[in-house]
């Protein structure tokens, strides 16, 4: 009996495999980390062979952990780090270069050149994105510009460029399927938001041959079937794909316009469902495809802060003030306030709504009385302040309030952070029982394609709440906090 959907959550630091049943319960979960490669300051790469091996290990281990065989898997759903850019040989599946990771800033000069050429509005109007090294298109251009032989092979249709979802589908199908879904394609600077097709004008500007890009599909359909995958039988349908943040929005059952979720991971990502009509942001957010189901497209507004949980990692690994991330909440709540310390966590630049790639992190208000507890509290508050700015920009663009806000990701387990966030936003925030919503979303998309769930109401009914956070802070205190933050941001941007 096929009782489970296998969700592959291919993230920035590791690959997670989860087995999910019809009640949206996780029967088993395993994770395998892989190397982070830093060739020089500001550059981040992954070895695609490392990613594939971590995927195989995660699949093998999750089957062992659940004590089931691959024959009990009904379908596979994939969710992935989105803008990370891959290049591999079409015939053999052999990687031809390290993947350039979404965090990598090496294409800043390409983006600046395009801005000087007055191309920014063209890209924004067609793709909903800003010209920033974050996105995939300039990463592709950099790889092709660097290697003329590679460009020649690309023109001969011998290589494939794609995001991680495309690479994994290719590997799982023994190089039979070269596809991506609309949510991932919308992160490349190359897909037209209206047509949901690769845009010839943008491809020409970046000098990227159309032939090397995967076919854009919906987020829930059968893209191919497993073949020759170690540990899995042939013939399992791969039937769901979504970028990680869109998958989390789906997994949180945010199916109505105005519903939003915030994921607290390495960075923090706030997405709001805006329905079937495109809203072009006037407040430095981006417009993206949330998902496509058959012929129906749902769009989202997105704001991303590059550093959230990574700030906690820095306090642990860089400063050594904690040994484990689990210590943060107790340390932060051991003091009643930050004693005026404000932490702007721009450790890799500022994302939305500022988009200042050269901004750097800042801690202000230090005195001789400052302790590691004050720094810990300021770091958590800094994460919440960033998301407050994102939410304000989003509501201005939507011309409406966020009507429902759900939270997920590892740092959503930090009750202090969640309460402070609720206080700043003056909104009730709901945390689900299962915070692995990215994987849940991928599983749901895969299951819908094969009838594992019959419709969205099945998923909505299976979703369960863990805890609601209700705002408690006075307006006076809230205003004081926000004024301190805004002063620090002005200094950071100066």
pLDDT tens, 341-368?
999 999 878 888 888 877 889 999 999 9
pLDDT tens sequence across 142-155: 999 998 888 888 88
Structure tokens at 309: 């949980």
pLDDT of residue 265: 84
How much is the average pLDDT of 461-489? Answer: 95
Distance from C-alpha of 333 to C-alpha of 142, rounded to nearest angstrom: 46
Tokens for 133, please give them.
């090294």
Task: Tell me whether residue 100 is in a domain.
Answer: yes
Closest Cα partner for 226 from 218, 237, 217? 237
Share of the chain above pLDDT 90, in %: 86
For residue 2, what pLDDT is reported?
A: 73
Q: Is residue 109 part of a domain?
A: yes
**pLDDT of 95-111, one tens digit each?**
999 999 988 989 999 99
Residue 320 burial (CB count, 10 A) = 9
**Dihedral (C-alpha) 340, 345, 346, 348: value to the nearest 10 degrees?**
150
Would you state the structure tokens that stand for residue 310, as one six-digit string? 């990574």
Higher local confidence (pLDDT), 352 or 139: 139
Mind listing the pLDDT tens digit for each residue in 384-397?
Answer: 999 999 999 999 99
- What is the 3 state secondary structure string of 315-370? HHHCCCCCCCHHHHHHHHCCCCCCCCCEEECCECEECCCCCECCCCCEEECCCCCC
List strand residue ranges (DSSP E) for 208-248, in order: 215-217, 220-225, 237-243
Decide if 199 is inside a domain: yes
Which pTM does this prediction carry?
0.91
Q: Which residues contact 69 (CB under 8 A, 6 or more apart)?
A: 63, 233
Q: Can you read off the two tokens belonging to residue 378?
A: 């300021």
- Number of domains the chain is built from: 1
pLDDT in tens, 245-291: 999 999 999 999 999 999 998 889 999 999 999 999 999 999 999 99
- pLDDT higher than 80, residue 216: yes
CATH of the domain at 135: 3.30.420.40
Residue 291 located in a structural domain: no
- Predicted confidence at residue 306, as pLDDT, reads 82
Residue 177 lies in a domain: yes
Residues contacting residue 176 through CB under 8 Å, at least 6 positions apart: 170, 224, 227
- Tell me, yes or no, whether 475 lies in a domain: no
Question: What's the CA gap between 465 and 460, in Å, rounded?
Answer: 11
Q: Rounded CA gap, 6 and 17, in Å?
A: 7
Residue 434: count of CB within 10 angstroms of its CB = 19
pLDDT, tens digit, 9 for 90 and up, residues 31-79: 999 999 999 988 999 999 999 999 999 999 999 999 999 999 999 999 9
CA distance 440 to 79: 10
Structure confidence at residue 494 (pLDDT): 80
Element (H, E) at 288: strand 286-293
- The answer to the question of residue 19 being in a domain is yes
What confidence category does residue 1 fall into, taking pLDDT thresholds of 50, 70 and 90?
low
Show the domain range for 39. 4-245
Q: Is residue 42 part of a domain?
A: yes
Tell me what the pLDDT averaged over the chain comes to: 94
pLDDT tens per residue, range 429-457: 999 998 889 999 999 999 999 999 999 99
Residue 227, token pair as written in the block: 């073949």
pLDDT digits (tens, 9 = 90+) for 163-210: 999 999 999 999 999 999 999 999 999 999 999 999 999 999 999 999
């Amino acid at each position: 009996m096929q009782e489970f959907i296998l969700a592959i959550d291919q993230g920035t630091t590791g690959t997670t495999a989860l087995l999910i049943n019809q009640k949206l319960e996780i029967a088993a979960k395993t994770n395998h980390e892989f190397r982070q490669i830093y060739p020089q300051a500001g550059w981040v790469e992954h070895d695609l062979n490392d990613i594939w091996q971590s995927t195989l290990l995660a699949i093998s281990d999750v089957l062992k952990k659940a004590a089931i065989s691959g024959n009990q898997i009904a379908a596979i759903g994939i969710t992935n780090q989105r803008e990370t850019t891959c290049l591999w040989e079409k015939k053999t599946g052999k990687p031809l270069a390290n993947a350039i990771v979404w965090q990598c800033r090496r294409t800043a000069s390409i983006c600046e050149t395009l801005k000087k050429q007055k191309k920014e509005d063209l890209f924004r109007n067609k793709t909903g994105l800003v010209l920033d090294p974050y996105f995939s298109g300039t990463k592709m251009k950099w790889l092709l510009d660097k290697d003329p032989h590679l460009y020649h092979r690309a023109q001969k249709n011998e290589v494939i460029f794609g995001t991680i979802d495309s690479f994994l589908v290719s590997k799982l199908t023994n190089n039979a399927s070269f596809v991506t879904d609309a949510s991932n394609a919308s992160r490349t600077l190359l897909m037209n938001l209206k047509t949901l097709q690769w845009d010839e004008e943008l491809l020409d500007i970046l000098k990227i041959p159309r032939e090397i890009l995967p076919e854009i599909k919906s987020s829930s359909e059968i893209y191919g079937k497993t073949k020759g995958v170690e540990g899995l039988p042939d013939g399992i349908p791969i039937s769901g794909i979504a970028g990680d943040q869109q998958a989390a929005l789906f997994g949180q059952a945010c199916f109505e316009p105005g519903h939003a979720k915030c994921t607290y991971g390495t960075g923090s990502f706030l997405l709001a469902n805006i329905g079937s009509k495109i809203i072009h942001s006037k407040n430095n957010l981006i417009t993206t495809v949330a998902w496509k189901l058959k012929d129906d497209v749902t769009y989202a507004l997105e704001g991303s802060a590059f550093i959230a949980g990574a700030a906690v990692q820095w306090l642990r690994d860089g400063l050594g003030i904690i040994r484990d991330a689990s210590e943060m909440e107790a340390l932060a709540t051991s003091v009643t306030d930050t004693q005026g310390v404000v932490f702007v966590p721009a450790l890799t630049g500022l994302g939305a709504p500022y988009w200042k790639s050269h901004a750097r992190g800042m801690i202000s208000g230090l005195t001789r009385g400052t302790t590691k507890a004050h720094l810990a509290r300021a770091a958590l508050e800094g994460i919440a302040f960033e998301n407050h700015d994102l939410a304000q920009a989003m509501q201005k663009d939507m011309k409406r309030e966020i009507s429902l806000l759900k939270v997920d990701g590892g740092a959503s387990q930090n009750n202090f952070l969640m309460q402070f966030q609720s206080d700043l936003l003056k909104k009730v925030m709901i945390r689900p029982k299962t915070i692995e919503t990215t994987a849940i979303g991928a599983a749901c998309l895969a299951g819908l394609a094969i009838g594992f769930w019959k419709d969205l109401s099945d998923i909505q009914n299976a979703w369960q709440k863990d805890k609601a956070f209700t705002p408690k802070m006075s307006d006076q205190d809230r205003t004081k906090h926000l004024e301190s933050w805004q002063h620090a941001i002005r200094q950071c941007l100066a």
